[in-house]
Amino acid sequence: MFVTMPTLKQLKNEYLEYLEIERNRALKTIENYGRYLERFIHFASSTAGEDVADLNEDVIRQYRLWLNRFKDSETGEPLKRITQNYHIIALRNFLKYLVKRQIKSVAPERVELGKQEDRQVSFLEPSELERLLDAPEGSDLPALRDRALLATLFSTGMRVSELCSLNRDMVSVERGELSVRGKGGKVRPVFVADDAAKHLQEWMKARSDLDQALFIRIPRNQRFGSYEDLRLTPRSVQRIVKGHAIAAGIVGKKVSPHTLRHSFATDLLRNGADIRSVQAMLGHSSVTTTQIYTHVTDKGLKEVHQKFLKGGKR
């Protein structure tokens, strides 16, 4: 009996459904994988064909070359090496899915990631951090919210998406601890510093709305009767952080919620925390990801450098 093999596009759609149902991957991850694979399939279809049988190592080699030479139509900027690797990771995982389905194609281990440039870590120095956390002035609702928001981001090191997903009943200011669901659905404990707990308590006590979200947008008239679903979005949090960074006079740095996450990790390592503990608090699946902070926090290397210079050697 002759069986028609699904096209690459059909297999891609089935793979995304597999990620959603069986792997329980985040919707944002599925969306990104879908976009990366769509780009590959469009390239493969135009150069070789739409069937999985047309897929071979030479098509993938040409695709990688195309990615490396790709330039944005508006900015003229090329794809960063890390972005190219995101495309290849999605492709490699798709090939692993084909193996699981016993569909003959290119072996995923034949597809290697390209060497990428070291990531640049942007963090705030203690004086900048102090100015940023003190930037929201006053005792009105926006000031109370923003003080609590900034303090929570820094004292927990959580991702902006994790912050936005928090509900009021998830926070216990008495315990100074809560659980967040991070990437891949993994739950980890997050600890709230005393200052952040104090600001959270003041913010929650001042609220009169019934929204379950911990951080919400505030209507201009500060009346909540007719408003629903007030939860802040990651984009809104980015605007809040950026606005207070400008007010704090922090120039020459792009300050975002992720900058506070970097500052959290840097502060821990500078004060003697071990890298495995920092890995757990950040929710990194691999310590390799956490190691991006060590080149700016290694006190031992700095001491060697200072000793070398003071010894009069050049």
The neighbouring-strand residues paired with 51 are 7
Taking the mean position of all CA atoms in its chain, how far away is CA 263?
14
> How would you label 271-281 residue by residue, b for 16+ Cβ within 10 Å and e otherwise?
eeeebeebbeb
For 188, the 3-state DSSP assignment is strand
The answer to whether 213 and 232 are in contact (CB under 8 A) is yes
Catalytic residue among 183, 198, 207, 231: 183
Residues with Cβ within 8 Å of 180's Cβ and at least 6 positions away in sequence, in order, are 158, 162, 165, 166, 170, 187, 188, 190, 283
* 183: annotated active-site residue: yes
Read off the tokens for 270.
């500078």
Catalytic residue among 101, 231, 242, 258: 258
Catalytic residue among 12, 145, 199, 284: 284
* 227: annotated active-site residue: no
Read off the tokens for 251.
């120039």
Please name which of 261, 296, 291 lies closest in space to residue 279, comparing C-alpha atoms. Answer: 291
* 313: annotated active-site residue: no
Residues with Cβ within 8 Å of 21's Cβ and at least 6 positions away in sequence, in order, are none
The answer to whether 167 and 230 are in contact (CB under 8 A) is no
* 262: annotated active-site residue: no
- How far is the C-alpha of 151 from the C-alpha of 125, rounded, in Å? 15
**Number of other residues whose CB lies within 10 A of the CB of residue 88:** 19
Read off the tokens for 209.
């709305």
* 61: annotated active-site residue: no
Catalytic residue among 159, 199, 244, 262: 159
* 81: annotated active-site residue: no
Catalytic residue among 87, 92, 261, 262: 261
Tokens 């505030």 correspond to 218
- How far is the C-alpha of 266 from the C-alpha of 306, rounded, in Å? 21
Active site residues: 159, 183, 258, 261, 284, 293
